[in-house]
Structures are given as C-alpha cells and as structure tokens.
C-alpha cells in the first residue's frame, strides 16, 4: 500500500531560505518541511566571513518529498547553481515510501 | 554487523503530538525522537483556520525506528486515521540499518 | 549524476555533543549537521537520573555524510563504545545519493 518517492534534503544557511523555498515551489512540489540546524561544513568558508563552525542554529535543513526523481534533481541543481558558490550548502537524495500518496 | 529496520517519519502539527506519541507507544515502539519543524503542506488548510505557511515552528517531525515493518505501517495508519482529516500531516517510511539492535 | 554515500545518524544527549563531534572529525568526515531533539528512549535511564521522557529539547540529532561505509561504522562504533553505557543514544545508517560529491 506504499509507493516509492524521492526525498531531497537541502542543508544550507538560513539567510537564503526564502530563495530556496521559492525554487521548491516553482518546481511544482506541494510542500516542504524545515528544521533549524547547526553544523560544520567541508568548505570552511561561509558568506560574510563568518566562521565555519556555527554554534548558533544559523542553518536550515529543508526536506521535500517529490513525486518524481526528475523534480528532485531539478530542485537540487537549481539550488546549487544559484547559491552554492557563495553560501555553504549540501544536497542529497533518499528513497522513501509514501503511505498516503494523495497527500503529496 | 547491522540489521535492517524501518523508520517511520510523521510530520504534523504540534497540537497533536501527545496523541501521536501515545499511538507510537501503544504500538509497542521502544522510543521516538522529535524535532520542531516549520513548513508548507499540500492541503493549504490547517486546523483552526491558520494559514498553511507557518513561519513559526508550529509543526513537529517525529521519527520512530521500528523492529518490524508491520509496526511502522500500523503506527502510520492509526495516526492518519485519527488525525489527518482534521490536521495537516504526512507520513513516510525509510529503510535504515541499525548498528545496535539491542537498543531498540 | 549522483553517487551513493552513507549517512550516519546519532541521536543522543546534548551533554556529550562536543565529544561526539570530535569523534566525527577525527574519523575524517568533512562536516556534520545537528538539530535539537526531544524524545523517549528504550532504556528508561539517562545520565544524572533525569527522567526518560524529556520535554525540553535536551537531545541532539547529529547527521554525517561519509564517503565510505567504513568511516560511518567507525564513527558509530566509537560513539557507542565511549558513551552509550552512560548516556542514552542510538545510531543508524541510511543510504543516500549525493548530487555534488566534491562537496564532501
């Protein structure tokens, strides 16, 4: 009674969350979830010269369940192209099983 | 040295978190984790007529590792049946590998 | 255009987060993400005799994407060996697909 879907996870700076969610909505996703996050990234650089280790919860982890894998990759590519030269961020995909497909 | 298990994720309104965790415990799960979340859902409706986009962290993301897939589906079905006609919410499953099975 | 990687998730008490992230860095991981979490564990005991159900967000969920599965298991084993006799905690692995491998 489940069907497979793709979850895309975007972890990035809170500063750009509005732009990220705009990309998600423009891609046609019906919703997203975000949580406040802290962390340390691989690049050791952040916008505004702030240190790489952020004790305050200045990052955000955004998750989107997409009906198609194409949509997931499209969101990831657009977010990376628009922001990741200047802001810290990572994206990855996970396979999930949705129990109530009509909700997505 | 790992063994497969199922993780169920429930993202819903904080208002009903006590009822959700009660369902989880009644199903026999030995624990759960929750984080505060914000987000936008597909339904565009929420209880109490609040707007669909919630800037405050009024949602909660609950995760449960279950020993059997049956238990995961049982939890998801009960939460959906009891709450999702009146509250925003989604559930999905992920396959995980547990490193310390005796802890679950 | 993606490649597989392993995500390790560690959910434990906030008290030991510095020790946990030190283990992660010593293992050679290039970054990690953490979110504040609440929850109820299977053991029913916590350090300092605090109750098992923590309404305040006194836990932390730490995620690490590792390039190799060996690194993921090494982190999990070290964290468990050093802390889980005395602190509540669980670890599990998930398979993910990275879209920008050069970032890890």
Q: What is the CATH number of the domain that holds C18?
A: 3.30.70.120
Lowest mean pLDDT among B43-47, C34-38, C85-89: B43-47
Q: Is A75 inside a domain boundary?
A: yes
Whether the predicted pLDDT of B55 surpasses 80 = no
Whether A61 and C95 lie within 8 Å, measured CB to CB: no
Q: Is B84 on the interface with A (CB under 8 A)?
A: yes
Helical pair C17-26 and C69-83, crossing angle rounded to 10 deg? 150
Range(s) of the domain holding residue A85: 3-98
Whether the predicted pLDDT of A22 surpasses 60 = yes
- The H-assigned helical ranges of chain B are 17-26, 69-83
| Percentage above 90 pLDDT, chain B | 70
Q: Is A34 inside a domain boundary?
A: yes
d(CA A78, CA A69): 14
Give how far C93 is from chain B: nearest CA, Å: 5
Q: Which residues pair with A13 in a beta bridge?
A: A59
Q: How many domains does chain B have?
A: 1
Q: Is C97 on the interface with B (CB under 8 A)?
A: no
Using a CB-CB cut-off of 8 Å, the residues of chain A touching C5 are 92
Give how far B55 is from chain C: nearest CA, Å: 18
pTM of the predicted model as reported, rounded to 2 decimal places: 0.87
pLDDT tens digit sequence for A86-101: 999 999 999 999 986 5
Q: Is B103 inside a domain boundary?
A: no
Residue in chain A lying closest to B13 (CA): A33
Whether the predicted pLDDT of B2 surpasses 60 = yes
Q: What is the DSSP letter of C59?
A: E
ipTM of the complex: 0.84
| Residue with the larger pLDDT of the pair A42 and C49 | A42
Q: Is B69 inside a domain boundary?
A: yes
What would the mean pLDDT of B45-49 be, rounded to a whole number? Answer: 48
pLDDT tens digit sequence for A30-82: 899 999 999 987 654 445 545 444 446 799 999 999 989 999 999 999 999 99
């Amino acid at each position: 009674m489940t069907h497979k879907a793709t979850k895309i996870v975007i972890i990035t700076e809170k500063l750009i969350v509005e732009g990220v969610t705009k990309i998600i909505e423009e891609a046609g996703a019906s919703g997203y979830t975000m949580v406040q996050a802290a962390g340390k990234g691989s690049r050791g650089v952040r916008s505004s010269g702030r240190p790489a280790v952020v004790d305050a919860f200045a990052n955000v982890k955004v998750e989107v369940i997409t009906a198609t894998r194409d949509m997931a990759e499209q969101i990831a590519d657009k977010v990376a192209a628009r922001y990741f030269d200047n802001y810290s961020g990572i994206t990855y995909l996970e396979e999930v099983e949705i129990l109530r497909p009509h909700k997505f």
